[in-house]
Amino acid sequence: MTTAVAWMAPICALIGMGVAGYLARWVLSQDPGPDSMNSISLKIQQGAKAFLLSEYKLLIIFMAVVAVVMCLALSPWTAAAFVTGGALSAAAGYVGMHVATRANTRTAHAAEESVAKALNISFKSGLTMGLCVASFALFGLSLWLILLVFGNIDMIDVMHEHVGMVEGFATGASAVALFARVGGGIYTKAADVGADLVGKVEAGIPEDDPRNPATIADNVGDNVGDVAGMGADLFESYTGSIIAPTILAVTFASLGYFSGIDMIWAVVVPVMIASCGILTSVLGLFAVRTKEGSALGAALNRGTYLAAVLEVIAILAIFVLWNGQSVEGRPIWLFGSVICGLVAGLAIGKTTEYFTSDEYAPVKKIAESCETGAATNIIQGISTGMLSTIIPIALVAFAIIGAYICGNMAFPGVDVSTGGIAVGLFGVALAATGMLSNTAITIGVDAYGPVADNAGGIAEMAGLPEEVRDRTDSLDAVGNTTAAIAKGFAIASAGLSAISLFVSYQATMHHAFVDFSLTLTDPMIIAGIFVGAMVPFMFAALTMGAVSDAAHAMVEEVRRQFREIKGIMEYEAEPEYDKCVAISTQSALHKMMLPGVLAVIIPIVIGCIDPAMLGGFLAGAVSTGMLLAIFMSNAGGAWDNAKKYIEKGAHGGKGFAAHKAAVVGDTVGDPFKDTSGPSMNILINLMTIISLTFSPLFIAIQTII
């Protein structure tokens, strides 16, 4: 019965792949416009492909080394799952970027006719990416679960052992995601900062002006960072949100919390929820429509809200079925846990929109502060970013409490009085699943933004009428907000998933060592908390420093070309775009390795020394990592849209002092929102899943010593 139900997941994943293929074919069938636009798009395609292939070559080496370690220290199955997770994550990013780099010129050409047509092309390109991410992740993960776990549903000990092997899939997804986010973020922001500081501030030329040597690298960066990198980011968050409750269900089954039909349902329900999410995301596509002059954000929100409503109905049906078959519990209460996650996710999205959209006071206040210079702009942006952490963290806290209470209500008969793990934490894990169940359409409304941004760049470089750039800019401004919303979902779900994975780690250690506990009276745990709290700051320092170093090299190169190549400013000579592309590529590839390797090594080293210290380490990392992620992502998004708000004509518009100050703020915010900030949720998820995956090694070492 279990295996039969579980096959729903790969079937729905295949449906998602089929729809993604159809959307990709439709996008690529649209008119790409004249050769003057296509030649620019071709340069972007070549640059993006070259970088991604170079990045993947390094990742192959890294994956091979880790896989060998896993094979020797853990099991060949864990190593194979690790490679599968990493490969599918990379494949999803590559497919999405392939379509996005071709949708840009088609969107620009469509914008000559109407913003509605441009939205249709760019959104379907984004949804192609979203469906690939969700479908590839669910397909690979569900097949591993069917192979190693679901087939052993009546053998709890075997099932518990084998779920550890499946953890390798999530580890592979997280590892690739971290490198993709960091590498893509360094690439895009080095180019963006160089283009802005020299082009817009020093030379006083428009954004994406063909005279700017960094403009091609900037447009390439939109794809490798905000499409491929973002796709890998949500691939791992989505995978984590599915596997976290599955691992916890298996762990609790081994502790005797679930038995019989309830155990079967607890194990398979996360993939069932994810399966429904793919189908509802496909249906949400039909709600994304707009007319000329209508609010673009409202059109995108309709698709998200429709998918959410349909998902709620589908999830309710799942728990009603479980409740009717349950013997020992009232699992209908777990529907409340999922709703806590969904509501918190949507509320976090609206909060993010408030702090990052130019329709609301925070962004307008940042724009106003630009009238007194760049310094006040920076101060106001930092203040806004810090303030924006309050409501999301409160919502996550309420979601945890609500999901926990509902989880306990679902199984009131479970006795944990002897020191067991509270069963309500299964509800917390399901809240993360609910929050990211509609990942496909969430990515769709996010990934369309870089396509629109590229379309604006092509319009500028090809010399299209100003009204075309205005249309693409309106799409891009909304895209900045939707991107920030998607990051909010990923960050919040990472926190919830990390908690459930942390509980699984605790339960695994408690199963191996009866006296294992995590208390604040243990100095090793306290030390671990402080070390863990430090790591996100170290990670942010490394990634921000990498962007600074790369941007410095880019600025010097752009200045050199303006100085040495005669006729650039008069359109009589073409800049050496390839040299700027090479700087971004080399900087990203060189600088991405250290943060990624440290994120893998540090928890393994601490776990080998003291597993209890590692528990404290994870608690500290999750708490500061979430705060930094929200702060940096929202501050960066607010700075960006404050600049765009001024460019629409506020506070004097382009060329005035306020605009120059806004460009500086946007430049500071770029690595905040596109490099360091969105990498934080991957960091905490990766370190948590690494800790859980390598727990057998830690147990073996502690047994020996």
pLDDT digits (tens, 9 = 90+) for 589-646: 888 888 888 888 999 999 999 888 998 999 899 889 989 989 998 999 899 889 988 9
pTM: 0.85
Task: Give the pLDDT mean for 668-675.
Answer: 86
Share the mean pLDDT of the chain: 84
pLDDT of residue 595: 84
Residue predicted with more confidence, 603 or 457: 603
For residue 279, give every residue at least 6 positions away whose Cβ sits within 8 Å of its Cβ, in sequence order, or none: 12, 15, 16, 314
pLDDT value at 100 more than 60 = yes
Residue predicted with more confidence, 106 or 223: 106
pLDDT value at 473 more than 90 = no
pLDDT of residue 88: 92
Place of tokens 């502060």: 369
Instruction: Give the closest residue to 223 by CA, choosing from 33, 412, 448, 392.
Output: 448
Instruction: Give the closest residue to 218 by CA, choosing from 196, 188, 238.
Output: 188
Task: Give the pLDDT mean for 646-669.
Answer: 86
pLDDT value at 371 more than 70 = yes
> Range with the lowest mean pLDDT among 244-248, 284-288, 423-427?
284-288
pLDDT value at 316 more than 90 = yes
pLDDT digits (tens, 9 = 90+) for 35-70: 888 888 888 888 888 888 888 888 899 899 999 999
Q: How many of the other CB atoms lie within 10 Å of CB of 333?
A: 20
Q: Cα(422)–Cα(407) distance, rounded to whole angstroms?
A: 9
Cα 487 → chain centroid: 6
CB 458 within 8 A of CB 105: yes
pLDDT of residue 187: 83
Q: Angle formed by the axes of helices 677-693 and 466-512, to 10°?
A: 20
Residue predicted with more confidence, 188 or 561: 561
Best mean pLDDT range from 496-510, 605-619, 651-665: 605-619
pLDDT value at 227 more than 90 = no
Query: In the structure encoding, which two tokens stand for residue 363, read together?
Result: 């962004």
pLDDT of residue 487: 67
- What one-character DSSP code corresponds to residue 634? H
Cα 126 → chain centroid: 14
Instruction: Give the closest residue to 497 by CA, choosing from 268, 264, 244.
Output: 244
pLDDT value at 419 more than 60 = no
Instruction: Give the closest residue to 224 by CA, choosing from 7, 27, 447.
Output: 447
pLDDT value at 335 more than 80 = yes
pLDDT of residue 375: 93
Task: Give the pLDDT mean for 341-345.
Answer: 83
CB 363 within 8 A of CB 642: yes
Alpha-carbon dihedral sign for residues 662, 666, 672, 673: positive
| Phi, psi for residue 424 in degrees, rounded to 5 | -60, -20
DSSP-derived secondary structure for 61-81: HHHHHHHHHHHHHT-HHHHHH
CB 141 within 8 A of CB 642: no
pLDDT digits (tens, 9 = 90+) for 206-217: 767 778 888 888
When computed from its CA atoms, the radius of gyration of the chain, rounded to whole angstroms, is 24
pLDDT digits (tens, 9 = 90+) for 141-176: 999 888 887 877 766 767 767 777 888 898 898 888
> pLDDT-based confidence at 290, cuts 50/70/90?
low
pLDDT of residue 3: 61
Task: Give the pLDDT mean for 216-237.
Answer: 79
Q: What percent of the chain has pLDDT over 70?
A: 94
Residue predicted with more confidence, 207 or 379: 379
CA quadruple 683, 424, 331, 325: dihedral, nearest 10: 90
Instruction: Give the closest residue to 577 by CA, choosing from 49, 220, 217.
Output: 217
Residue spans of beta strands (DSSP E) within 541-677: none
pLDDT of residue 417: 55
Q: Cα(151)–Cα(11) distance, rounded to whole angstroms?
A: 17
Alpha-carbon dihedral sign for residues 207, 213, 214, 219: positive
Best mean pLDDT range from 91-100, 330-339, 341-350: 330-339
Q: How many residues would you count in the chain?
A: 705
Instruction: Give the closest residue to 67 by CA, choosing from 49, 55, 85, 83.
Output: 83
